[in-house]
Amino acid sequence: MTIEPLIKVQLENFGAEAEAARLTTGRKDVGALVSFVGLCRDEAGTLAALELEHYPGMAEAELTRMAEDAIGRWPLTGLTIVHRYGKIAPGENIVLVIAASAHRRAAFEAADFLMDFLKTRAPFWKKEHLASGESSSWVEAKAGDDKDAERWLNTRSGT
């Protein structure tokens, strides 16, 4: 049976525990749950906030396409992705990926895969607002993120 991923793109914060509970409550077939939370760091005190711009509609569509790709590669029992947009202060949550499966490796790999692809393909852009009050600037994409995503291109599932 194919599972339906839960995809949310939202302004407000999320609760990782509540989202994890949604994938396990009342079930006895889930043996592993991997939850990844990406947070806004203050870059040694220099960052006041991140502002995340997104492409409404495409953000949800692209996250759904990635989730369906992951579901095709690994035997997951549940999958949730939440990505925030808007202004986010250091210490606050940005992104949540939760993968559940009967066994750990599928859950670990699916979460890792989704974070790699999310960074290079999901239409979100970060702007840094500096604590010094200097003019804000767009974060540049990292070549290392492309390399991380490329790792998966020639691989199929582990189980």
Partner 1 sequence: MNIRYFAWVRERVGVEEEAIDLPGGVKTVADLISHLKSLDENHAAAFEEEDAIRVALDQVHVENDADLAGAREVAFFPPMTGG
Site residues, partner 1 (CB under 8 A): 38, 52-55, 57-58, 61-62, 83, 94-95, 115, 118-127, 138-141
Considering beta carbons, is residue 50 or 77 the nearer one to partner 1?
50
* Beta strand spans in the chain (E): 6-10, 32-39, 47-54, 76-84, 86-88, 93-101, 124-130, 137-138
What minimum distance in Å lies between the beta carbon of 1 and partner 1? 27
Considering beta carbons, is residue 13 or 125 the nearer one to partner 1?
125
Considering beta carbons, is residue 1 or 143 the nearer one to partner 1?
143
What is the side-by-side strand order in the sheet with 86-88?
A: 86-88, 47-54, 124-130, 137-138
What minimum distance in Å lies between the beta carbon of 67 and partner 1? 14
CB 8 within 8 A of CB 54: no
